[in-house]
Structure 1
């Protein structure tokens, strides 16, 4: 039987996010209403998908809430709490995009630059004609979702890229790829003269006030690091891999993640450089069906139907190449969109979404990699209910 802990309400307040005060029951919707909305969806979701533990972050009307459910470790029975760390998988790409936006805003790089400018070892390869933008929006020409097993370190990574031959002209086809956006993040860090991991820890996380977010979980925080659970119920955590930090390496709490989402909707409290970095990440660069591809983020005209969201987050969109329409110049960030991203590791499943025009957003963190359609549907139900309040 799935155990559901009594949710903690108002863990984050607008004072943490936007300079306001904590929410009270008199607000509309208030903690009780939001708790009811979330419980109605999350409890059956966990039961149907055998999810041991979840943390749900909600931001609505400039106030944020975190709800904790279930357990972080089956062995110890430790409950999910405000400091529980989850792997967020490919939602990490939104942090990579923010760093790249920062690099562009500060003049360290231009998205139009060719990849070999920042990795001269690739000179003479296909990357002489592939731009940073192509890497950031998965249009380099067909880089695979994952590296081959023989790519295990820097040397084999460089050798792989040097030998790789594109199947498509750069900028014409989207094929979702960790090898693509991973290199994008690596080159962004190269342009800034520091390692990616250090830039996350010293620049990006602090800029958003994220105090419980890590690429490498420190030893004194390991007790808060949830165990993920595989399909056969075994405890599992992500293993190191080439460009893992850039593509799927962030571990964080629901409190930190909802803070990050809120700042992406309203960056009034951010440094101007990071406000502009967010704008770079949320600009539209390519159109693929109903979805507009940003850097990391994926956008849909709002209101959007659940069917369109499910199609845009389908396995077909992840595993198959798709023709793209390059938006030139890029479309500036808009308010009337739903912005989202999924993320998975072998033991964790994440979905985040927000609607700037409605000032609502949601973070779903789970220690099981459950089906993406179930995540998207659950978030859609909660957001729709919040909008009606």
Structure 2
């Protein structure tokens, strides 16, 4: 059992972390107000402090709120558990990254090579198998039928023996290790390899790992046993989504978990010193085409500000989840929603990026967004606080960049009057910034206050004679 595991929340949090938590709350609530997402579960970690919160309701009929008992399909995040077990097997010298996959298969698999280069463990981990198709024909059909809900109440007539048989017929059209092509076959074959070297079922290997990490509410293939706790979720058409069941061993997807367990897993990745954590998150394949750099089934990378990071997203038929780990900057985050429409995915992605941005700049706090709700409700009060707090440059990030961005958020939310107040505040603090006058002029123009729009466009053009957009709109206003 992971002896270093800590409580998922702390009774006392630093002032900065409390402010960061308030900003996360505002981002989440603003996202829900768009109406594309029913509910969110969000957790952040920074320098040993943790904050988690649930937002919204799982569905509009029952009004049931997500809570610590709610179980979510984590879909492809399942792969990170597979990757962890493989990393441990490599460190224990049970397997090698350069092993030919066929070492662990019985029968003739002479097709699993391209021009003499075989598929290796390394290729399975990095989605670089070289297969012409993502999956064999029958398995592809099964996966499609799963998404259509055919197996909600039916038993699979397909399993690992069927995949191994179909594997004899697949075709490689490129050298393994040269091209990234995301697939579920590789992780399932890794699960099979682990069974061969440990002489235990993959489910038992996973269960032992879950016990070790003290994740009692994370399960592989326990849909029916815990169906009542599973979060209701909605597909791309807004209908109740079928479960993303897996006919194979569970190396690619098939796990369910509650939020507290996922937070423990995040903390384990950030705080524990087990060698396999570092091994599983190191770079194994750098994709020069799309930037999909891979570790042991983790997405990995390096940012100039945040340092090394690894993460994974999971997309079931109705649940979108994501976990991000950045050991170099001691931060992590998890964001889960129970919707899967295109609009919901866009909102989820935007929210994910917003939260990560705040984690990167922490312990500095975005003062404009910290006061964003008060700016909308009581501008004069918020303005006084802003003018006072912005002097603390060691603690707060402020200035025209943040005010300008917030102003456009208000415009996009059809709150033009409030945007004008924000742009005016920005101009008063940075009166030589041509772009701010342009923004204020645009807001006045949208509000059909052409007199003030003209004055501010002219001021912007005076400060920046190259502002052709301002020159064009000035002529348009004069014609009006």
TM-score range for the pair, normalised by the shorter chain length:
0.7 to 0.9
Paired residue secondary structure (1:157): helix
Q: CA separation in 2, counterparts of 1:47 and 1:121? A: 57
Structure 1 residue 297 and structure 2 residue 302: aligned?
no
Greater fraction of residues in strand: 1
Task: Name the structure where helix makes up a greater proportion of residues.
Answer: 2
Q: Which residue does the alignment assign to 1:375?
A: 348
Among 359, 362, 369, the residue aligned to 1:388? 362
* Residue of 81, 92, 104 corresponding to 1:118: 104
1:247 pairs with 2:252: yes
> What secondary structure does 2:45 align onto?
strand
Higher Rg: 2
Instruction: State the distance in 2 between where 1:215 and 1:288 align.
Output: 31
Distance across 1 between alignment mates of 2:68 and 2:133:
36
Instruction: Compute the displacement of 1:21 (Å).
Output: 9.7
Contact 1:57-1:64 within 8 A present in 2 as well? yes
Question: Which residue in the other structure is 1:233 paired with?
Answer: 238
In structure 1, list runs of 5 or more residues that go unmatched.
Answer: 1-14, 269-274, 305-334
1:188 is aligned to 194
Q: CA deviation at 1:260?
A: 1.0
Aligned mates of 2:67, 2:232 — CA distance in 1:
13
Q: Do the aligned partners of residues 206 and 76 (structure 1) sit closer, same or farther apart at CA in structure 2, a change above 3 Å counting?
A: same
Change (3 A) 1:373 1:218: closer
How far off is 1:25 after superposition? Answer: 4.6
Shift of 1:240: 2.8
Q: Cα distance, 1:177 vs. partner?
A: 0.7
Aligned residue for 1:277, secondary structure, equals: helix
Aligned length: 337
Q: Give how far 1:23 is off.
A: 2.6
Q: Is the 8 Å Cα contact of residues 179 and 243 (structure 1) preserved in structure 2? A: no
Partner of 2:73: 87
Compared with structure 1, are the counterparts of its residues 251 and 150 closer, same or farther at alpha carbon in structure 2 (3 Å cutoff)?
closer
Q: CA deviation at 1:26?
A: 4.8
Query: Which of residues 141, 148, 171 is equivalent to 1:149?
Result: 141
**Displacement of 1:20:** 7.9
Q: TM-score, normalised by structure 1?
A: 0.78
Aligned to 2:154: none
Computed over aligned residues only, the root mean square deviation of the Cα atoms, in angstroms, reads 2.7
Question: Larger relative contact order (C-alpha < 8 A, sep ≥ 6)?
Answer: 1
Contact 1:285–1:293 (CA under 8 A) maintained in structure 2: yes
Unmatched 5+ stretches in structure 2: 144-157, 364-480
Contact map agreement 2:282 2:300 (CA 8 A) in 1 = no
Q: Structure 1's 49 and 252: CA in aligned 2 closer, same or farther, altered over 3 A?
A: farther
Task: Tell me if structure 1 keeps the 8 A contact 2:180–2:292.
Answer: no
Partner secondary structure for residue 229 of structure 1: coil
C-alpha deviation, 1:114, in angstroms? 1.4
Structure 2 length as normaliser, TM-score? Answer: 0.64
**Of 38-47 and 146-155, the range deviating more from structure 2:** 146-155
